[in-house]
Every structure is written in C-alpha cells, then in structure tokens.
Structure 1
Amino acid sequence: MADHRATVRALLDRYGRGYADEAGVRLADRPAPLYQLLVLATLLSTRIRAAVAVAAARELFAAGYRTPAAMEAATWQDRVDALGRGHYRRYDERTATMLGAGARLCLERWRGDLRRLHRETGGDVPAVRRLLTAFPGIGPTGADIFVREVQAVWVDLRPFVDRRMMTGARRLRLPTDPRALAGLVAGPDVARFAAALVRVSLSGEATGEVTRAAAGG
C-alpha cells in the first residue's frame, strides 16, 4: 500500500489535471459547465490529439458557445471557424454539424440541463452512458470521457473505472479492481486520478516518469 500511495502522489503531482480543467471548464453540477463537458467529450472522441481537442474547446467557449442555446444559435461557419482557431481542422466541418445537432438535442430532450439526464438514470452508470451516446459524436469512448470527469460532481457515479484507466493502472502496477483503485484517492480527487491514469495509458514516457518519481529517482 505504501508503494501505491507514493505512486499515486507522483501521478497526481505530474498528470492530475482533468481535461475539463485544461479546457477552462469550472466543473460543477450546473447546466452550463455540464454542457461544456459534453462539448469537450465530443471533441475528444475523434482521432485527434487531446491537446488539440482541448484548444478547440477553449476557442468555442471563448466565442461564447458555452450553453446549448448559444451553440445552436451560432452559424455552422461560426463553429467551423472557432474549431479552426483551435487547429481542429481535420474534422472541423463534420464536428461543427454534430455540435449543432447535439445542442438541439440537449435543448429538446433535456431542456438544456444535463442534470435532468442524471436524475432520470438515478445514478446508474450504464444508463448514463447509454443516454449520452444519443448525442451526435458521442460513442462509448466519448461517454467514458464524460463519466470519468463528471464523477467529480456526480458522486453517485463513483467509482467509475474504464478500460483506459485500467491500462494506466496496470502500467504503474496499481490495483485493477475498480473499488480498490478508486480507494487510493480521496473522493474529490477521483476525476483527477482518472485523467492522470489515462495520460499514463497513452504514454510510456509518462509511465517511466511517474515510476521514477515514486521511487525517489
């Protein structure tokens, strides 16, 4: 356990920043930040670097498209231009269309408030994931991204551990039982922990850095 604690400290120190935080989203159980997380999950779902998706999200939000009403009211070209400023060019036209359709769905099905989605599911993770995949561009991967981050504020979804997190845990020789893994951090840190494990799952360099730091190297 002592070795695990050292690894977790090193992991959080170096990579414990959620993607929502990087995108400038002050995540809270309120309609606007929850919608912004949905936008970010949509952008991260394509085969594009996470840093580019985060930059594109920041540009969309800086342009004022922080609510589903604002996103739907924007023209398709406005959305394309904002994505382009974030260098999200390979998928910009298709994603601009999906963001408009997703905003419309959020307004029509959930009246612009994803807390309604949460309440309808009663905190059942498979149900949350299933309803999220109704949004254009959100498949199983995007649903996992959303739930990994939103468990910071939707506490009844904890502990959510997906395949990416398990890969990161195995690389660092941490427990792969979901509750044992989540038990290594305090509740509010679980989303940061999730994001850090995902980064390790994607980078051998990150794995080595954390391992050396945990060993005092």
Structure 2
Amino acid sequence: MVQTRSGEVSTASDSRAAPKPAAAKVSKTKIKTKTVNDTAPNEPIEARDDPAKRKRDENETQATGGADSQPPSNEQPPKKAAREEAKEEKEPVSKNEAAEETIIHKINKTIDEYGSLPLTGMAVKEPLKPTPETLLALVIHSMLKSTRISHHLAEKAAVRVIDADYHDIKVLSEASWDDKVKVLSEGGYNRYREATATKLGDLADLVNEKYDGDLNNLLRKAEHKPAHIRELIREIKGFGDVAVDLFCDDAQAVWPVLAPTIDHRSLDTADDVGLGRDIDSLYALLGRDPVQMSKLARGLSNVRLSRSQEEIEHEE
C-alpha cells in the first residue's frame, strides 16, 4: 500500500512505480525567484519543509549561478563604420557650439575693451535711471555726436555742456543764446556753435511745451512702442536718423522697451567682425540685458571709430 499526501491508504500495488513528474522547463528570458510553492507537486511535504534541504538547494543555486543565469554576452562593440556615422552626426552640433563660443568671446572683448555705459565721464548723477536730467543729457549728447565733427571733439563738447547743467531743463531754458554759444566754444565745438546753440534753445521749448519739462512723458505718449518713440524723438530740430539711432543705443539702458537696438553703422561693424546682423541673437547671448546691449552698441561704435575691426575679427 502507498500513503498519499492526504494520509489516505491507496489500494494500488506497491510494486508499481509512481510516475515521475515532468521536468520543469527553465525560462531563458526571465530569472524567477524560487519560493516554497515552486516545488514539484509530487515532492514529499517533509522534504519541502526540511530547512536543511532548503539550505542545500540555496547553496547549490549560488554555486552554479542559478539555473536561469545567462551566459556572458557575445555582443561585439559597434563596427567602425557605425562609429564613424555616429561621429558625423555629432560634428554639426560641436561646430555650432564652437561658433557660438567664438561669438561670445568677441562680444566680451568688444564690451570689455571698447564698451562703456551711457554718459560715462559726464556729471550726470544717475545715468542709469530714467530721470528727466538723464534723458535730456542723452538727447544733448546724441545731438552733438551726430554732427559731422570728430568723435573726440563731440565728447569734449558734451562734457562741457553737461558741466554747465544744460541737462537741467530749467537751466537750459534760462540760458541765453550767447551763453550757449560760449559754452559750446569752451567745449571746442566752434564750427557748429551758433547753429547748435539755436537747436538747444528749440529743444528746451519742445520739452517744456509738449512734454511738461520731462521726456519721460514722450515715452508715455508713444505708448512704450519703439517705432513711435523714434517718430517723436525725430521731431527734435536737428535730429536726423543718425541722432535717433545714437539716442536709442544709449536710451535702451534706461528705457528697456527700446532694447535690443544697434545703430546701422555699428551693425555693419558687427557683421564685419563676425558677430552677424541678428540683433535678437546677440541680445539673447547677453542674457537679454538692455544695459549690456547698450554697452555692446557703444563698443561696436568705438571699434569702428578706432578702426579696430581686425582685432575683434581674429578673436577666438
């Protein structure tokens, strides 16, 4: 007689061998963790519950690496052709990055060695704040620089005019024509002193009558629109395209709505030295900082005036 798992007595003959359980197939794709329920159905309960046997089984599995362990991969590294193809796909990105790095170096050199803040060296208390005095000083400076006169002489005259407090609308309004001529002469602005004295008088009248003594009212009247700002600034007598461009180059530092801007002559210089003509891209590289954009525009102007294009062009 044979005792079954339930403990009942079977009437089957002892001489008949019990059929062997089918061998479990080993998965080659997934390693399965063995548990108590994974034993063969015909394995005696005592054997399954025997801690010593379980320990031996675990030791054997660890020694052999497990029935489901995979053989070492025979996969070969990519072929040379594949590697070359991958390299070719990456090269354009690297070239673009290198080109951008070169442009950044050129921008930094232009700003560091040739750029400056608006109204640098002039007696303006808050040159980076949109005060009435700062804006009037920017207009006067642009007017003097736009005339066909040497850059250094225009700067010298601007310094003298600001020293005379003509960027204060009250002082400018009260100064006589003769007073203005004298100040311009002291600044070396002899060739255009009479005509410019008249323009300064007209400027005072416009600012007082149309903008209540404060050019910030021009910004409001223009509804903060760059194109409209340019139109209204051009109403100043003696203000042509060059003067408007020079004003916007500097004023973007205090009126950010004007940014980004670079006057057309400085933009030509940017193209000559390898910075290109995409103003928005240059502005992005500067972190969209209007003050830095103003310094770049002024730097490019000085590069042109000092004929230093090759120095910037060969910067890498």
TM-score in terms of structure 2 length: 0.64
Identity of aligned residues (%): 31
C-alpha separation between the residues in 2 aligned to 1:17 and 1:171?
21
Q: Which has the higher contact order (CA 8 A, sep 6+)?
A: 1
How far did 1:208 drift? Answer: 2.3
Whole-angstrom CA distance in 2 between matches of 1:30 and 1:190? 20
After TM superposition, the structure 1 stretch with the greater mean CA deviation from structure 2, 99-108 or 20-29, is 20-29
Where does residue 286 of structure 2 map in the other structure? Answer: 185
How far did 1:166 drift? Answer: 1.4
Q: Which residue of 2 aligns with 1:28?
A: 129
Quote the residue 1:142 is aligned against. 243
Q: Compute the RMSD of aligned alpha carbons.
A: 1.6
Residue correspondence of structure 1 range 78-97 to structure 2 within 5 A: 78-97=179-198
SS of the residue corresponding to residue 21 of structure 1 reads coil
Counterpart-to-counterpart distance in 2, 1:95 and 1:22: 22
Structure 2: gaps (5+ residues) = 1-99
Instruction: Tell me the matched-pair count.
Output: 213
Aligned to 1:4: 103
CA distance in 1, matches of 2:220, 2:208: 16
Residues 185, 193 of structure 1: 8 Å contact kept: no
Matches within 5 A, 1:57-206: 57-186=158-287, 187=289, 188-204=291-307, 206=308
Aligned equivalents of 1:191, 1:24: Cα separation in 2: 19
Amino acid at match of 1:207: Q
Secondary structure class of the residue paired with 1:113: coil
Report if the CA contact (8 A) 1:56-1:85 is conserved: yes
SS at match of 2:198: helix
> Which whole-Å CA distance do the structure 2 matches of 1:182 and 1:197 have between them?
14
Query: Residue type matched to 1:53 in 2?
Result: A
Q: Structure 1 pair 104/36, CA: closer, same or farther in 2 (3 Å)?
A: same
Matching residue of 2:32: none
Name the aligned partner's letter for residue 56 of structure 1: A
Q: Quote the offset at 1:24 in angstroms.
A: 4.2
Q: Note the C-alpha offset of 1:122.
A: 2.1
Q: Which ranges of structure 1 fall in alignment gaps of 5 or more residues?
A: none
Once the 2 structures are TM-superposed, how far is the Cα of residue 209 of structure 1 from its aligned partner?
2.8
Confirm or deny: 8 A CA contact 1:45 1:137 kept in the other structure. no
Deviations 1:53-112 (A, max 9, x none): 121111112122221221121111111111111111110010001101111111110011
TM-score calculated relative to the size of structure 1: 0.92
Do residues 17 (structure 1) and 116 (structure 2) align?
yes
Q: CA deviation at 1:45?
A: 1.5
